[in-house]
């Protein structure tokens, strides 16, 4: 349904969300689970929930997403799902042979109060978990949080379950990449290794959800962080968490449990945030920044310098995850664009405060809302039009109805490909992000230009 009938009058809404700028916790937990090598995600709830979560991830990544379910019936909903989960664990290890089952809950199992920790312990006591295999779990009811908090909960669970400390440093750094694309995880690993640092990246969906077409199906792809690497996380020199919402909890848990010092920073999106990431690596590891990284930074600066006139003064509306939007807003402000309408579906007052600080000096009013929705964003656009919209696939309706240049970013992206193969983090990702923004703006200039202003070279 198109949104051309969205009204312009903005009224407070407390009990109604229209077109939420988020999805539910179990999707994030399932995505994080796929970043563990030889792991099968398990949805403790109804078949319909699991089918939706698998479908959402499959449509976004265009890869088959495997997951199991406790298949609640009416009886399970009344008497509890213990028998279903114990039987599922036995069947999964016997039939599908993963090394790890990662259980996340749904609204139904949370509402009836299933104690998943007790159930998992019973499965172990009953001999349903083979030696050397593991069952981890986390709580992810859909009626609170978002896919980002679900990701954070599962990432914390894998850190708490597996990590050990021998008292001897492994010489590595834990890197928690946040809710980003497989391509972004690959780029973060590449940059860290380019700095001469050995990373333990978790979760790691690179080569899991963006692998090659070989003509042969493989239920557990080659990628993903291994259980051995996760166990070693307690011996690492430090933990660097990228994005406080998605990665902060796991990093702080490792600090509390094993005294692994942590730094919780922004996702390295854009120039300044990537500078902080690189400098943090340099300082923590005591290494020098290699010429190859400096060269990439210079290339990003060159694009900004060459094309600044097309960025200057352009108003932007944004919807997405908080960890993405904060460094993105900082990046847009740094190239003299004006982010005037900003919405995230994930609740959190810290987000609004941080955006307020980044935009305080702008010569215009900035609307920002955490726990908001796309209906509110569209109303803001109706009252103050923008030159560019950056949002997930659901933003295309606003872009069409109000004839706005549009850049797809975030989760989910259902109608385009490339996001899982081409990064938008670090300096190379910043270059691609600018290319996408420039393409949208310059295509609009070409479309609207009269013949005498239709130039070959911009």
**Where residue 362 sits, what CATH number does that domain have?**
3.40.50.1980
Assigned domain for 29 exists: yes
Q: Locate 135 and state its tokens.
A: 């069952």
Q: Which candidate, 38, 388, 358, 396, places its Cα nearest to that of 219?
A: 38
* Contact in structure between 262 and 239 (CB atoms under 8 Å): yes
Q: Which candidate, 113, 118, 162, 166, places its Cα nearest to that of 141?
A: 113
* Residue 356: domain span: 292-451
Assigned domain for 221 exists: yes
Going residue by residue through the chain, which has 458 residues, state the pLDDT in tens, using 9 for 90 and above: 456 678 888 888 888 889 999 999 999 999 999 999 999 999 999 999 999 999 999 999 999 999 999 999 888 888 889 999 999 999 999 999 999 999 999 999 999 999 999 999 999 999 999 999 999 999 999 999 999 999 999 999 999 999 999 999 999 999 999 999 999 999 999 999 999 999 999 999 999 999 999 999 999 999 999 999 999 999 999 999 999 999 999 999 999 999 999 999 999 999 999 999 999 999 999 999 999 999 999 999 999 999 999 999 999 999 999 999 999 999 999 999 999 999 999 999 999 999 999 999 999 999 999 999 999 999 999 999 999 999 999 999 999 999 999 999 999 999 999 999 999 999 999 999 999 999 999 999 999 999 999 988 77
State residue 1's pLDDT score: 47
Other beta carbons less than 10 A from residue 47's beta carbon? 13
Assigned domain for 192 exists: yes
296 and 426 assigned to the same domain: yes
State residue 328's pLDDT score: 98
Q: Locate 376 and state its tokens.
A: 């509110």
136 and 184 assigned to the same domain: no
* Contact in structure between 99 and 39 (CB atoms under 8 Å): yes
353 and 436 assigned to the same domain: yes
188 and 125 assigned to the same domain: no
326 and 445 assigned to the same domain: yes
Q: Is the peptide bond before 412 cis (omega within 30 degrees of 0)?
A: yes
Among 110, 133, 162, the domain-final residue is 162
79 and 117 assigned to the same domain: yes
183 and 253 assigned to the same domain: yes
Assigned domain for 356 exists: yes
273 and 366 assigned to the same domain: no
State residue 277's pLDDT score: 98
Number of domains forming the structure of the chain: 3
Assigned domain for 7 exists: no
User: Does residue 43 sit in helix, strand or coil?
Assistant: strand
48 and 80 assigned to the same domain: yes
Query: pTM surpassing 0.75?
Result: yes
Q: Which candidate, 357, 354, 184, 159, places its Cα nearest to that of 248?
A: 159
Q: Which candidate, 406, 396, 250, places its Cα nearest to that of 316?
A: 406
Among 162, 194, 216, the domain-final residue is 162
CA angle in degrees (0–180, nearest 5) for 51-392-148: 60
Per-position DSSP letters for 232-283, written without gaps between them? HGGGSSEEEEESHHHHHHHHHHHHHHH---EEEE----SHHHHHHHHHHHHH
Assigned domain for 284 exists: yes
110 and 127 assigned to the same domain: yes
385 and 407 assigned to the same domain: yes
Distance CA 94, CA 90 (A): 6
Q: Which residues, including other chains, have CB under 8 Å from residue 239's CB and lie 6 or more apart?
A: 173, 174, 175, 176, 233, 250, 251, 254, 255, 260, 261, 262, 263
306 and 390 assigned to the same domain: yes
Assigned domain for 360 exists: yes
Assigned domain for 99 exists: yes
Among 162, 185, 205, the domain-final residue is 162
């Amino acid at each position: 349904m198109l949104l051309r009938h969205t009204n312009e009058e903005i009224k407070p809404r407390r009990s109604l969300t229209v077109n939420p700028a988020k999805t539910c916790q179990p999707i994030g937990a399932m995505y994080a689970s796929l970043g563990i090598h030889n792991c099968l995600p398990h949805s403790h709830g109804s078949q319909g929930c699991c089918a939706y979560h698998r479908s959402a991830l499959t449509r976004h990544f265009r890869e088959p997403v495997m997951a199991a379910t406790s298949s609640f019936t009416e009886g399970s909903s009344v008497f509890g799902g213990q028998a279903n989960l114990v039987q599922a664990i036995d069947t999964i290890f016997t039939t599908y042979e993963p090394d790890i089952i990662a259980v996340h809950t749904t609204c139904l199992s949370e509402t009836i109060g299933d104690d998943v920790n007790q159930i998992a312990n019973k499965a172990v006591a009953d001999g349903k978990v083979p030696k050397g295999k593991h069952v981890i779990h986390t709580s992810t009811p859909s009626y609170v949080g978002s896919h980002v908090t679900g990701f954070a909960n599962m990432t914390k669970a894998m850190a708490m379950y597996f990590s050990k400390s021998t008292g001897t440093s492994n010489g590595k750094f834990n890197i928690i990449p946040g809710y980003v694309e497989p391509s972004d995880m690959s780029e973060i690993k590449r940059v860290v290794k380019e700095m001469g640092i050995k990373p333990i990246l978790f979760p790691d969906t690179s080569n899991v959800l963006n692998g090659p077409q070989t003509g042969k199906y493989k239920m557990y792809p080659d990628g993903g962080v291994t259980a051995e690497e996760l166990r070693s996380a307690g011996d690492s020199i430090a933990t660097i968490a990228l994005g406080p919402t998605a990665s902060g909890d796991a990093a702080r848990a490792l600090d509390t449990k094993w005294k692994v010092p942590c730094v919780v920073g922004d996702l390295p999106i854009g120039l300044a945030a990537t500078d902080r990431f690189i400098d943090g690596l340099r300082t923590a590891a005591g290494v020098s920044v290699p010429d190859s990284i400096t060269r990439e930074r210079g290339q990003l600066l060159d694009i900004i310098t060459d094309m600044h006139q097309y960025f200057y003064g352009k108003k932007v509306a944004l919807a997405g995850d908080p960890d993405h939007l904060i460094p993105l807003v900082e990046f847009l402000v740094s190239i003299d664009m004006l982010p005037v309408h900003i919405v995230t579906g994930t609740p959190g007052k810290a987000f609004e405060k941080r955006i307020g600080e980044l935009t305080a000096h702008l010569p215009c009013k900035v609307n920002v809302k955490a726990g908001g929705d796309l209906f509110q964003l569209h109303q803001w656009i109706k009252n103050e039009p923008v030159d560019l919209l950056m949002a997930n696939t659901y933003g295309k309706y606003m872009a069409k109805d109000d004839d706005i240049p549009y850049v797809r970013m975030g989760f989910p992206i259902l109608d385009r490909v490339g996001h899982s193969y081409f990064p938008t983090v670090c300096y190379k990702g910043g270059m691609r992000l600018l290319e996408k923004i420039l393409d949208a703006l310059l295509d609009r200039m070409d479309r609207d230009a009269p013949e005498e202003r239709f130039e070959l070279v911009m």
